[in-house]
Structure 1
Amino acid sequence: MANPEYQESLDGVDKISVVIYRIGITLVSVSLLMIAVAELLCVLEHERAGFMRHLSIHVVAVAVALCAATIHIYDKNIRTLIVWSGWLGLVTFITLPAFDWLFVGFFFMTFSGVALKESYCFKIKGLTLVPLLLVLSVLVIWMKDAALLVVLTGLCGAIFAFLAFKKWQMPLHFDIGKKSNYQI
């Protein structure tokens, strides 16, 4: 996790990983908002609802892969939990596509980890509520309540959008912190 008081010199790989992570966070917000729109289209029985739902899940998968591959957290146990949730979600997404609540649950565990990690760096209202909202979203997916899913994912998407906006304003070294603090 970052320590903004300390400025580490970054090499090319560090810079690329931070940019990819920030793109991942941006895609998290886009994907959650896409889910909200897709579910709203389902509620309205729009003909494009199925396509939008399909597309939104694929954007979620890409966002998870980007965040899981490049998250910067000092503690290896916490980092492993967040990263492996994303990878398990991707494997489940590929092997068991009918169990959407299961792979989305793994994806949302990764997103929850990102939200909690970033809540230590930012005082963004609602960021600490994201894990609860995402857990509720998984339950709602399992129960197939599209109207409630619109609200939950829309709210989470808006919070992540604000986070992404703030992240892109920061210098890159804020995301890395002190390299010697990372457990390997």
Structure 2
Amino acid sequence: MASIDHIEKLDALDKLSVVTYRTGITLFGIALIVFSFAIADDIGFILIKNDYLMELALALFAVSSAMSAANLHVYDKKVRLIITWSAWIGVVLLITIDSEILAWLPIGFLCACFSGIALKESFCFKVIGLKAIPFLLCISILMLAIEVWLIAIICLFLSGVIFIFLAIQKWKMPLHFDIGNKANYQI
């Protein structure tokens, strides 16, 4: 866990990686909210009548996951490997699976990645709701798989709100908070 008392000297690449990571978190929160609206629109729960809402949500999922996974700052390489590979598997499946019936599968891998990110952030920073993220995302994926739409929509939307709140808090923090002590990273 990073110490906020340690101030690491950051080079341009460090700053870029933190900004990209935080942007990924922000986009993932937006993706969850857009996805919940897209599902609600598809089932006729609300009428947005935007044919591209689902495609936008899926594109945001892919981009946000790639951004955060590629720039994850976790000391333990095994934990980092699990979180990042969940994202990469999810992105590949999202690109290759063309079946609406299995759409929950790549989203599940991406949600596993961001569940790990939420837990990581909850250990480092006290942001309300982060420890509930793995539970909410797990329930939402299960509900998507068995087509219980209303519960999935609620869990996805709540997760999106929590991630947006996390993003707001993260953008207020100095960049060095995300890096911690470079000497502690396992390679």
TM-score class normalised by the smaller sequence: over 0.9
RMSD between aligned residues: 1.4
Task: Using the TM superposition, give the Cα deviation of residue 47 of structure 1 relative to its aligned residue in structure 2, in angstroms.
Answer: 6.5
Counterpart of 2:87? 86
Question: What is the 5 A alignment of 1:58-137?
Answer: 58-98=59-99, 99-137=102-140
Q: Percent identity?
A: 44
Deviates more, 1:30-39 or 1:139-148: 139-148
Q: Is the 8 A contact 1:26 1:164 kept in 2?
A: yes
Report the TM-score, using the length of structure 2 for normalisation: 0.93
Distance in 1 separating the partners of 2:35 and 2:4 = 33
1:2 is paired with a residue whose SS is coil
The one-letter code sitting in structure 2 at the alignment partner of 1:117 is: K
1:14 and 2:17 correspond:
no
Aligned length, in residue pairs: 184
1:39 paired to 2:39: yes
User: Where does structure 2 lack aligned partners over 5 or more consecutive residues?
Assistant: none
The 3-state SS of whatever aligns with 2:52 is helix
Query: Which protein is richer in helix relative to its size?
Result: 1
Q: Is the 8 A contact 2:140 2:153 kept in 1?
A: no
The one-letter amino acid paired with 1:44 is G
Spell out, residue by residue over 1:58-79, the C-alpha distance to the aligned partner (whole angstroms, 9 max, x if none): 1111110011000100000000
Structure-2 residue corresponding to 1:172: 175
Aligned AA (1:97): D
CA drift at 1:48: 2.7
The answer for unaligned runs of 5 or more in structure 1 is none
TM-score, length-scaled by structure 1? 0.95
**AA at the equivalent of 1:11:** D
Shift of 1:125: 2.4
Match of 1:51 in 2: 52
Q: 1:163, CA displacement in angstroms?
A: 0.4
Moved more, 8-17 or 85-94: 85-94
